[in-house]
Structure 1
Amino acid sequence: MGKSDEELQTQLELLKIEHRDLDQAIAALIEAGSPDQLRTARLKKRKLQLRDRIILLENQLIPDIIA
């Protein structure tokens, strides 16, 4: 059985918060001139994974109008 829209919406909000937090963390590392390129790359990769999950959840919540 799939998750309810309410559960999906809650999960979506949590992912968006984590995505925004990662965005701020990446910006802070870059601004600080951090030489840790590996850490920055890992954060960017995680951010892309979150974005993909956010898109999937939004697609589940929003009915396909062009069916």
Structure 2
Amino acid sequence: MNDDDPREVLQLLKAEHRRLDEEIELLRSSGNCDQLELARMKKKKLALKDEIQVLSDRIIPDIIA
């Protein structure tokens, strides 16, 4: 895999974001939820979302014609 290919990096980031989302839901549904760990996971998920958006914007620029 070529790490320089932004499309591949984007797919990896999206997969990590989905994995975190699933982990957060599992933690919540278990009822045995560590609030600090949950907050950390949510913060990381939000950072990934921001990184995904920046990379997406770089790949597909928003051009107003």
Query: Do both proteins adopt the same fold according to a TM-score greater than 0.5, normalized to the shorter chain?
Result: yes
Unpaired runs of at least 5, structure 1: none
Aligned-pair CA distance for 1:37: 0.4
Please, which runs of 5 or more residues in structure 2 have no aligned partner? none
Kindly, what percent of the aligned residue pairs are identical? 49
Q: CA RMSD in A?
A: 1.7
Higher-RCO chain (CA-CA 8 Å, sequence separation at least 6): 1
Give me the TM-score of the superposition, normalised by structure 2.
0.88
Provide the rounded CA distance (Å) in 2 between the counterparts of 1:64 and 1:30: 37
TM-score, scaled relative to structure 1: 0.86
Q: In structure 2, what is the Cα distance between the partners aligned to 1:35 and 1:15?
A: 25
**Residue in 1 that maps onto 2:42:** 44
Q: Which runs of 4+ in 1 moved over 4 A?
A: none
In 2, the alpha carbon distance for the partners of 1:55 and 1:49 equals 10
* Per-residue CA distance 1:28-50 (angstroms, 9 max, x = gap): 00000123100000000000000
